Amino acid sequence: MSKYDFQAIEQKWQAYWAQNATFRALGPGDEGFDASRPKFFVLDMFPYPSGAGLHVGHPLGYIGTDIVARYKRMTGHNVLHPMGFDAFGLPAEQYAIETGVHPRDTTRKNIANMLRQLKAFGLSYDWDRELATIEPDYYRWTQWIFLQIWGSWYDEEQDKARPVAELEQALEAGEYLVGEDGDLVSAGSEGARTWQSLDESEKREFIDGRRLAFISGVPVNWCPGLGTVLANEEVTNDGRSERGNFPVFKRPLRQWQLRITAFAERLIRDLDDLDWPEPVKLMQRNWVGRSRGASVEFRVAGSDEAIRVFTTRPDTLFGATYMVLAPEHPLVETVTVPDQRQAVSTYQAEAGARSDVDRQADSRTKTGVFTGAFAINPTTGEEIPIWIADYVMMGYGTGAIMAVPCHDSRDFEFAKTFSLPIVPVIAPDPKWLAQQAEAIKLEEDPLECYLADPTVFPEAFCGQGTSINSANREVSLNDLSTAKAQQRIISWLEQKGLGFAQVQYKLRDWLFSRQRYWGEPFPVLHGPDGRIQPVPESELPVVLPEMEDFRPSASDDPEAEPKPSLGRAPEEWRLVEVEGQRWERELNTMPQWAGSCWYYLRFIDPHNSERFVDREKEHYWMGAGGVDLYVGGVEHAVLHLLYARFWHKLLYDLGHVSTSEPFRRLFNQGYIQAYAFQDARGVYVPASEVVEEDGSFYHNGQKLTRSYGKMGKSLKNAVAPDEMFAEYGCDTLRLYEMYMGPLETSKPWITRDIVGVSRFLQRVWRNFFDKEDGSLLVSEEAASGEIRRLLHATIKQVTHDMETLSFNTSIARLIELNNALVGLDSLPREVAEPFVLMLAPLVPHLAEELWQQLGFTESLAYAPWPDFDERYLVKEEVEIAIQIMGKMRGTVCVAPDAVEDDVREAALAEEKFRRHLDGKTIRKVIFVPGRLLNIIAN
RNA sequence: GCGAAAGUGGCGGAACUGGUAGACGCGCGAGAUUUAGGUUCUCGUGGUUUAGGCCGUGGGGGUUCGAGUCCCCCCUUUCGCACCA
């Protein structure tokens, strides 16, 4: 073979791998499985099968994981490397609606197309494990897991989820009682009722109220444009749907929710042990949003009512000069005095009508209305006014706050606007005072002025400090630091029964139902008396009914009622007869994220019809902390990764999986970006048709402006892989994508640059085969010392880079090695073989071909990864940097084991170094063996 | 506003715990092969310069024998959160 015929080679080896099932992963129970080898589970975030097809940016991460998978096979691991499709959900359904074809047909077609495109990249997936979340064999188990969640409660004492049946047993046995407020209390609690004293419906209500999947009527995100409700995570900052950018409204609706909040603490705590990018951990911590503080009760003056608030600064309690309720707070109706009723309800109506977008727009100016009622500050005994204002949210804490205007910037603004009293209870630190005084050019003593009137400065002091003005007959916080003051006030509050230390989370329960067609049906039946009953496990899956019209009931009207698509399903699906009564199926479907919460587990055992995953197989592949490497984009930092961790922990608590976390190591790949071009009207023109002339860009003679962004349809700057395959081949494309830069960063696609790696592969070929007759140039002669040293240095570096996924630098080292081989008459086998093995993960087709040409009859997929020998890394001579007074002046060559005196002598022997020392005395010499000598003189 | 990450030649990017800045590739320049273009090969390529140097990793300070790397201040870009009490 005289020419590198990539087309023929790539076809040949892809066929070979398929025929020989080269990448079939053997696990426990499979014939030929070798349990003595370590396992490696390397996973990609599986894609949505969109109709648009792939561009060169999509497979970036897949190429990365493929290289790791191939490398790990060569280092003796049993590798699990699967791929599948996340095919339920809005994108697939929206696409189906656009084309008017049933989503099952469009998604299956899209999957087939995407499979074809993926396979062309020569990725070493075990395709026998391919799965799609839309197949009944798969979503049967998604439904099964939902039933596990429904059948569980959270045991706070044991800090884990447990089956509801165990709760019922414990109640039956009297280990627990039902408290006055309907809460769960331990035996012996005062005023508690026994389980037996409850009637059937009370019992059911009690249990249903503790389930981890429950129906509740809290305000949810209603998106009429999509015809469905959405999770908090699916709503953007400006109150729109992440999918489709439709407006979203808060409305109280009865919906399914999953009690993810029960796991809040563990979802934060367990991040510590994960090998994840710090920014992702931080985003998750922020999303869960843990804050410590106190719950405090304020009595309403002249009434039996009390307002409970959460505060992170109980130490400022003496400074609470008013209270604010969220406009939606239930106590607003009871406390408002008749004179203020009109103003209050007007304000409530206004606040209710404002969308989140409006509230966002003028978040700076504070509005509110006095209710006419007063609460009593428990520390001072003073009556403080109760206001309502939309800067307090119903969704966080208790929906009410104690306002400490002197030490909270929002309360400060509000108090200034409505002339409410502002009392300092923390002495600001001198640095802050000095800064503030500087800002307003204050001449007098800043502390004195501040204490006299805290509004002299434009800002409130919100930091920690020493408490002042904080004492009553029973307790004094004065002169205490913030931490100490908090401790003291909390113990005082506890003593008085007015409050206690509390931890609050930002995380809300997960809104889990959607009114769309294209999702997993809930395996739940609703009885005529409002009872809920699960579909028995033996009857799973509940298959989506065939429907002509699967479109959602979308609307522009925010008042439109949600109408699940399944409401139009045929009666024989909707209605089920149980013991002579007609029960109706749940008509909502599960959200997109359900299927992706556990797919990694199904890959372990994709065809099991008895269990969602075989225990022994799960134990093997998920051992040592779960998936060994999980690669995907940062966009899933909160949504998918938080939901999946939640489900996994629940399955762990119930004993269904063996690790408490699903993904031990997470890696975020960057994006491939590309230049995009707009004409004078701002319309994007296809980047492929743009011509460059003297640094300007033209399309049909029109001058264009150039911008830069993520590759895709909207910017018309996508590059299709097919063109690249045709011109350069798949190995070259793979290599270029890895060579562009670090896998984790975003970087620009520049088609011109691909010739660099193409030339490299051509040159590799020419090093192996004679240009004229195509004969193999490999010889059995030993390599020279220099080539051998370079080979071993390359093995060392490339091996290291494989572990850190630094493929760009390993490729650079391989290019260097290859360049060094160019001048040789023949290629020593001792270099050729390890060189091919190192190329194998990166350019597998070419490497297989070379391996075969070297005389091997089997695939190199499981050939042992080359080792390096430290002995060969020793150079005969090393260059030592010579610095005079810390400045680089050149280098000297010495033996690698040269000591300071040798190097110094060699340096001083040369005029070019001595020159800089003329007339100076050497004061000090710094020597770093093998690297540098620095002579200090004056 | 708060938080995080990043700023290195004409371009993509190297540089492990402070120790020869710019590996490798693109582009560019010169030469060789070729009828020519392309391919291929060799050499060169941070800036400046009086050829000894001098200046260079966003800007300004600092620590150190020595700073792209550590510390402080500032600028720019990207991302995340956003009245979270």
Residues 6 or more apart whose Cβ sits within 8 Å of residue A234: A221, A241, A242, A243, A591, A639
Whether A678 CB is under 7 Å from strand B = no
Distance of C1' in B30 from CA in A740, Å: 29
Q: Are strands A878-884 and A827-828 parallel, antiparallel or unpaired?
A: unpaired
Check residue A583 and give its pLDDT. 93
Q: Rounded CA gap, A386 and A375, in Å?
A: 6
Reply yes or no on whether the pLDDT at A676 is more than 80: yes
Closest CA to A859 of A847, A867, A870: A847
Distance of C1' in B75 from CA in A720, Å: 39
- Write the secondary structure of A363-395 as one string of H (helix), E (strand) and C (coil): CCCCCCEEEEEEEECCCCCCEEEEEECCCCCCC
Note the ipTM here.
0.94
Helix (H, G, I), strand (E, B) or coil at A271: helix
Check residue A111 and give its pLDDT. 93
Q: Rounded CA gap, A925 and A923, in Å?
A: 7
Map out the domains of chain A with their CATH numbers.
Answer: 40-145+597-668 (3.40.50.620), 154-210 (no CATH), 290-422+468-505 (3.90.740.10), 674-729 (no CATH), 750-874 (1.10.730.10), 876-937 (3.10.20.590)
The answer to whether A52 and A713 have CB atoms below 8 angstroms apart is yes
Q: Rounded CA gap, A605 and A386, in Å?
A: 60
Subset of residues 132-151 in chain A with CB less than 7 angstroms from any atom in strand B: none
Looking across all nucleic acid strands, the nucleotide with the smallest C1' to CA distance from residue A752 is B26
Tell me what the mean pLDDT of segment A103-128 comes to: 93
Tokens representing A624?
């040592």
Whether A328 CB is under 7 Å from strand B = no
Closest CA to A276 of A639, A631, A564: A631
Q: Which nucleotides of B are covered by protein (CB under 7 A)?
A: 3-5, 11-15, 19-21, 23-27, 39-42, 52-54, 65-67, 79-85
Subset of residues 342-361 in chain A with CB less than 7 angstroms from any atom in strand B: 359-360
Whether A924 CB is under 7 Å from strand B = yes
The protein residue nearest nucleotide B12, judged by CA to C1', is A740
For chain A, the straight-line distance linking the first and the last C-alpha, in angstroms and rounded, comes to: 67
Task: Tell me how many helices (H) and strands (E) chain A has.
Answer: 31, 41
Distance of C1' in B79 from CA in A389, Å: 32
Residue at A368: amino acid letter: G
Render pLDDT for A807-835 as a digit per residue (tens, 0 to 9): 999 999 999 999 999 888 889 999 999 99
Ordered alpha helix ranges (H), A295-422: 331-335, 338-353, 356-361, 409-417
Closest CA to A61 of A88, A83, A28: A83
The answer to whether A568 and A227 have CB atoms below 8 angstroms apart is no
Tokens representing A67?
């290289």
Whether A706 CB is under 7 Å from strand B = no
Subset of residues 755-784 in chain A with CB less than 7 angstroms from any atom in strand B: 755-757, 759-760, 762-763, 766
What DSSP string describes A562-590?
P--GGGGS-HHHHEEEETTEEEEE---B-
DSSP secondary-structure letter at A543? P
Render pLDDT for A230-261 as a digit per residue (tens, 0 to 9): 877 777 766 777 777 788 887 778 899 999 99
Residues 6 or more apart whose Cβ sits within 8 Å of residue A160: A154, A653
Distance of C1' in B53 from CA in A880, Å: 22
Whether A739 CB is under 7 Å from strand B = yes
pLDDT greater at residue A775 or residue A69: A69
Tell me what the mean pLDDT of segment A910-938 comes to: 85
Check residue A1 and give its pLDDT. 55
Render pLDDT for A828-859 as a digit per residue (tens, 0 to 9): 999 999 999 999 999 999 999 999 999 999 99
Whether A675 CB is under 7 Å from strand B = no
pLDDT more than 90, % of chain A: 61
Distance of C1' in B66 from CA in A793, Å: 28
Q: Rounded CA gap, A716 and A678, in Å?
A: 10
C-alpha dihedral sign at A385, A387, A392, A396:
positive
Check residue A502 and give its pLDDT. 93
Distance of C1' in B67 from CA in A228, Å: 57
Q: How many CB atoms lie within 10 A of CB A818?
A: 18
Check residue A620 and give its pLDDT. 97
Reply yes or no on whether the pLDDT at A288 is more than 90: yes
Helix (H, G, I), strand (E, B) or coil at A34: coil
Render pLDDT for A363-388 as a digit per residue (tens, 0 to 9): 567 889 999 999 999 999 999 999 99
The answer to whether A440 and A457 have CB atoms below 8 angstroms apart is yes
Looking across all nucleic acid strands, the nucleotide with the smallest C1' to CA distance from residue A238 is B82
Reply yes or no on whether the pLDDT at A102 is more than 70: yes
φ and ψ of A307, to 5 deg: -110, 125
Looking across all nucleic acid strands, the nucleotide with the smallest C1' to CA distance from residue A890 is B20
Mean pLDDT across chain A: 90
Whether A113 CB is under 7 Å from strand B = no
